[in-house]
Amino acid sequence: MPTRQLHIEGVVQGVGFRPYVFRLANAYQLKGWVSNDVKGVHVEVSGSPENLAQFESDLLTCPPENAHISRVHRKELPETGYLTFQIIESNPVGEPTVLLTPDLGLCEACRHELTEVGNRRKGYAFTTCLNCGPRYSIITSLPYDRPLTRMAPFTMCPVCQKEFNDPANRRFYSQTNSCPDCAVALSLVGHSGKTLSTDPEVVLAESIRLLQEGHILAVKGIGGYLLMADATNAAVVQTLRDRKHRPSKPFALLMKSVEAARHYVEIREAESQELQSTQSPVVLLRRKNQASLPGVAPGLDRLGIMLPYTPLLAMLAEGFSGPLIATSGNLSGSPIFYEDHQAFNNLDGIADFFVVNNRSIVVPQDDSVVQFARHGDHRIVLRRSRGMAPLVFQHPLTSAQTTLAMGADLKSAFALMVRGNLYASQYLGDLENFDTQRGYEHTLHHLLGLMNTRPAEVIIDKHPAYFSSQTGIRMASDWQVPVREIQHHQAHFAAVLAENNQLDAPQPILGVIWDGTGLGDDGQVWGGEFFRYENHTFERVAHLDYFTHFLGDKFSREPRLCALSLTADHAEAIPLVESKFSDSEWKLYRAMITKATLKTSSMGRLFDGVASLLGLCDHASYEGEAALFLENCALRETDQVLEPVRDLSTKGIIDYVVHHLHLGSHRSAIAWQFHVALVHWIAQVAREQGCRTLAFSGGVFQNALLNDLLLSMLSEEFELLFHDELSPNDECISYGQLACAQVENKLVAQSHQNEIVCASPFPVN
């Protein structure tokens, strides 16, 4: 009988691929075997030519639900004497090319088992199957097999082993399989690490009771600890804010179902699907009643909602019934805690009790966060982490060598190109914090270890003071490999170009790159930039007018300083701004502005300044707070309609805001026209540059209203390119650094080819 060898790469481990191949091969009466190796899934099958062809067609066109096939290698073999088809032992030898599977949210079948009378997994907090459960967070080595995960210490009981060996069972070869008889242990812990109960039924019942009584719990999840509390209890919410030193930053909410969430928020179909996806992110949704749950997201009209993505969260949510705060278990500025000793040492005093399990976590992950612009249900990733990382499917990047891109410091994430695959890390936090720096390095070295690789080149941001840049230089020195610097905003632009497969675009593309800060080529602080991309070359063609940047990081933490800088030459703005400062501050800061030499074109700081002028935020307690309030204000309903901004310069926009504040115009109407003016400015620059394709990146484009206005006002005249899988904030920088490097390499190759043509006396074909 003919025999065929298939080697399949992609997301093919941890998604039930081997069991699927086993069942499919038997359905077509084929013989042979399937196994995992470090490159993917290896299959050898023999049978009739017709059955082999149909088997391969079904396998590649209808793979398991969570699988993604990136490459297939075929080879015809001599006839073999296979008598059966079986799953054989995995091969851990070689250079890994398999894509890493993200953690998968709780599937409906497992969710049903939690409450099914008579089911042996009823009430079991760690039930999983081929279609759900932890993956990336527990992998210690490749290929993906139980002994190489943090499930290794847990020996399956005879019944689980029988399920594992049964081709008809959905837990056939499920590497995370367990049950109450071979359980991941759950325990309730009080102050000073005192264990209160290890009975899972008691732990669950007591946890629900404690939440109902107004206690704060630290609950160990897939990617780290969550702080949980009754979201309807204003006193408890305030206590959590006080203990965590988080005065106003929104908390995420856990709801037991979409139907339960609808009591509090509006949910459209795309949002409902996102909530229930295997990624299970937090989704920002518009409140129905502005007065409900006031302490959860103070002053904002949207709530961040997620559904239970683990059995434990599902049972807590069901038992509690109402909305629960479920926010990252960390200290202000630190990463999420994922090791038990970290949590006990740092969260004791914030949490009253701990719900702990004895399955350790390899790499920490926060919950992913998304929102949707209302126009066309355009999806915006705000934080890319659990359920999403480390995969990037939409990219045209290639490299003959292993390349590591370090990213930036704010919203840090790194990216790795190795053996034709691209891995972009989860959100790792802001690298001004020592614990975040350690977490960044831990995750980086873990991925390098999984891939068994050492980079041949390291790419960094041009900012010399970034921890990510300094770390990249140090690591490159240790490895004795070259370092390449990429300008921050060009990396943003390249990221959105690559994600839309436009690096080789034949037409010029205008990049609108707006964020808070990035070191410019002229030594100033950029952030309101327009680039023209043509023939693999970036050219800065316009930018927000420079204004004074002073007092370092304080400038971004106090929007009133931005307002002061922006109105320094506006005498009529003095009454609006002076009251925000003490007499001594007013004199000192105005003098500093006249002497400061550092300038900025930051759109993020323009948002901050306008928010301060409108009286929305003078001191920000978290990054992006002023911009959130400005967007929120613009979306507040008002009957007042103002004429549009005529002068689209920075001075013209500020003059408009100040003028209408003196007239007593409604703040919402002013905020709305501010957003509209920015869209008009984009269109104006695009027409001046003769560009009909526009690409958007930078943290400012997390603004859903701005996205809505771009889509509704410009999509008929221009082709608009946005991020899809990646966030427009600095999480995409590392991916963009890789894309920029590829563009630079093409330019070098083209230049070299031109030199050869010019030097040769003969035609070059």
Helix 650-663 with 603-613: angle, nearest 10 deg: 10
pLDDT given for residue 756 in this prediction: 58
Cβ neighbours of residue 374 under 8 Å, at least 6 residues apart?
Answer: 268, 704, 708
For 591, counting Cβ atoms within 10 Å of its Cβ (0-12 exposed, 13-18 middle, 19+ buried), the class is exposed
Torsion (CA) 626, 629, 635, 638 in degrees, nearest 10: -110
Q: Is the pLDDT of residue 761 over 70?
A: no
Dist CA 356 CA 186 (whole Å) = 6
Cβ atoms 488, 729 nearer than 8 A: no
User: Whole-model pTM above 0.85?
Assistant: yes
35 φ, ψ to 5°?
-155, 165
Phi/psi of residue 252, nearest 5 degrees: -80, 155
What's the fold here for domain 547-721?
Nucleotidyltransferase; domain 5 (3.30.420)
Residue 573 has pLDDT above 80, yes or no: yes
Alpha-carbon distance of 712 to 675, in angstroms, equals: 13
Report the distance separating Cα 59 and Cα 54, nearest Å.
8
Q: What is the pLDDT of residue 1?
A: 79
Q: Is the pLDDT of residue 243 over 50?
A: yes
Structure confidence at residue 543 as a pLDDT band (50, 70, 90): very high
pLDDT computed for residue 755 by the predictor: 63
Residue-wise pLDDT tens digits, 399-422? 889 999 999 999 999 999 999 899
- pLDDT for residue 677 is more than 50: yes
Fold classification of 186-369 is DHBP synthase (3.90.870)
Tell me: the pLDDT tens digits for 349-374? 999 999 999 999 999 999 999 999 98
Looking at residue 134, its pLDDT comes to 97
- pLDDT exceeding 70 applies to what percent of the chain? 98
Q: Which amino acid is at 177?
A: N
pLDDT tens digits along 722-747: 999 999 999 999 999 999 999 999 88
Q: How far apart are CA 21 and CA 44, in angstroms?
A: 11
Q: How far apart are CA 421 and CA 451, in angstroms?
A: 10
Tokens 């900025």, residue located: 600
Amino acid sitting at position 155:
T
Q: The domain 390-500+725-740: what is its CATH number?
A: 3.30.420.360
Question: How remote is the C-alpha of 229 from its chain's centroid?
Answer: 25
306-328 mean pLDDT: 97
Give the H or E element holding residue 171: none
pLDDT at 759 (0 to 100): 53
The pLDDT value recorded for residue 762 is: 43
Token duo for residue 388: 């999403």
Over 50: is that where the pLDDT of 10 sits?
yes
DSSP letters, 71-125, are: EEEEEEE------SEEE---B--S---PPPPPPBPPPHHHHHHTT-TT-TTTT-T
Strand 483-486 and strand 599-600: the pairing is: unpaired
Give me 607's structure tokens: 């948002």
Q: Where are the beta strands (DSSP E) in 261-402?
A: 282-286, 302-306, 324-328, 353-357, 369-373, 378-383
Q: How many other β-carbons are positioned within 10 Å of the β-carbon of residue 287?
A: 17
Domain ranges of the chain: 3-87, 186-369, 390-500+725-740, 547-721
CA separation for the pair 531, 542 (Å, rounded): 7
Angle formed by the axes of helices 559-566 and 583-595, nearest 10°: 60
Residue with token string 């309030």: 629
Q: Is 212 exposed, middle or buried (0-12, 13-18, 19+ CB in 10 A)?
A: middle
Whole-number Å distance between alpha carbons of 515 and 108: 40
> Can you tell me the distance from the alpha carbon of 59 to that of 101, in angstroms, rounded to the nearest whole number?
19
Can you say how many angstroms the Cα of residue 703 is from the centroid of all Cα atoms in its chain? Answer: 16
Tell me which H or E stretch contains 687: helix 667-689
CATH of domain 3-87: 3.30.70.100
pLDDT at 561: 98
What does the block give as tokens for 82?
């296979």
Mean pLDDT for all residues in the chain = 95
* 171-219: pLDDT as tens digits: 999 999 999 999 999 999 998 789 999 999 999 999 999 999 999 999 9
**547-721 shares the fold of 390-500+725-740:** yes
- DSSP strand pairing (353-357 vs 217-220): parallel
Q: Which pairing describes strands 421-424 and 415-418: parallel, antiparallel, or unpaired?
A: antiparallel
